[in-house]
Amino acid sequence: DPRSRQCSLASLTSLTFDDDALVAITYTEPSRDLLGRASKVAGA
């Protein structure tokens, strides 16, 4: 459920529609390889 997910370094939630119908929700982290080096402080 994307509404309860906390954002990561570069997270992306995509909504795919077919006309007016929501047909897919996908979640990716394009910069996943950088997560280990990301600062752990709030607002960083």
**How much is the pLDDT for 20?**
95
| pLDDT confidence of residue 37 | 66
CA separation for the pair 38, 27 (Å, rounded) = 19
pLDDT at 8: 62
pLDDT in tens, the chain (44 residues): 666 666 666 778 899 999 999 999 998 887 777 767 666 655 54
- The distance from CA 32 to its chain's CA centroid, rounded to whole angstroms, is 11
10-40 as b/e: b if 16+ CB within 10 A: eeeeeeeeeeeeeeeeeeeeeeeeeeeeeee
Contact 28, 14 (CB under 8 A): yes
pTM exceeds cut of 0.75: no
